[in-house]
Amino acid sequence: MAAKRKIEEWGPEQGKRLAAARNKEDLTQKQLADLAEISRPYLSNLERGVDVPSVGTLQSLCAQLHVTDDSVLFGIASNDPTPVTAAAAQPPLATTATTVVRKEGQRVIDLEHGVRWGFNAGAPGHAGMPRASSKDIVYEPGGASTRTGYMRHPGWELGRVISGTLDVLLEREQGTETHVLNAGDSISYDSSTPHRLVNRGDETVTALWIEIEYADHQPTPP
């Protein structure tokens, strides 16, 4: 019988790694909270493992600290934490680096607002290649990447809904652009565009989500 995946939760270990990343950037809690547009007490609770971040809060904090989400969540260090530039030399057709993530070994964590992330094999970013992460995401009915407001971070997101119906909201200058994705539908967008993912239906949403980041990423005009 295959081993059952362990579902992790945000706690003191994640909080310690978040605090260590903040200290490495020589930021106070107040400075980081202001940059991430959250309150200092909330950040303090996150660092103590008392509160659980939303997807939007976690991605905002990681962007400000120049770290990957899996490094904060699981202590996984990439070979090169700095994403490469899009103008770098053409990467070779083959590399010696291979990553395999078995189903029973997938790292899975529950976040705030009914969201679960399961990390698949990704690419750390090297030799002219962008950093890429691949996740199995689950949004329970009513689940959302942020309770209110939108999130944004450098790069591109590509997603494909496997089951359920997921709303992807993009905030444009002319107003909110809403894309209702059913099973089999896919989407890609510039993730520096303010966006929000939400499950407004009665069925749990499962999807495959990929994030790609270049160091010299230029935001798409709104």
- pLDDT confidence of 76, banded at 50, 70, 90? confident
pTM recorded for the entire structure: 0.83
Q: Mean pLDDT, to the nearest integer, of 132-138?
A: 95
Q: Mean pLDDT, to the nearest integer, of 90-119?
A: 81
Q: Is the pLDDT of residue 172 over 80?
A: yes
Q: Is the pLDDT of residue 81 over 60?
A: no
**Max mean pLDDT range (4-8, 84-88, 164-168, 173-177):** 164-168
Go through the domains of the chain in sequence order and give each one's CATH number.
Answer: 7-74 (1.10.260.40), 113-213 (2.60.120.10)
Instruction: Answer positive or negative: Cα dihedral of 109, 78, 196, 23.
Output: positive
Q: Is the pLDDT of residue 93 over 50?
A: no
Q: What is the pLDDT of residue 84?
A: 32
Q: Is the pLDDT of residue 96 over 60?
A: no
Percent of the chain with pLDDT over 90: 67
Q: C-alpha angle 52/144/187, rounded to 5°?
A: 125
Q: Is the pLDDT of residue 116 over 80?
A: yes
- Rounded to an integer, what distance in angstroms lies between the CA atom of residue 110 and that of residue 51? 12
Q: Residues near 186 by Cβ (< 8 Å), separated by ≥ 6? A: 158, 159, 160, 161
Q: Are 208 and 163 in contact (CB under 8 A)?
A: no
Mean of the per-residue pLDDT values for the chain?
86
- Rounded to an integer, what distance in angstroms lies between the CA atom of residue 50 and that of residue 101? 30
Q: Is the pLDDT of residue 94 over 60?
A: no
41 CA to centre of own chain: 23
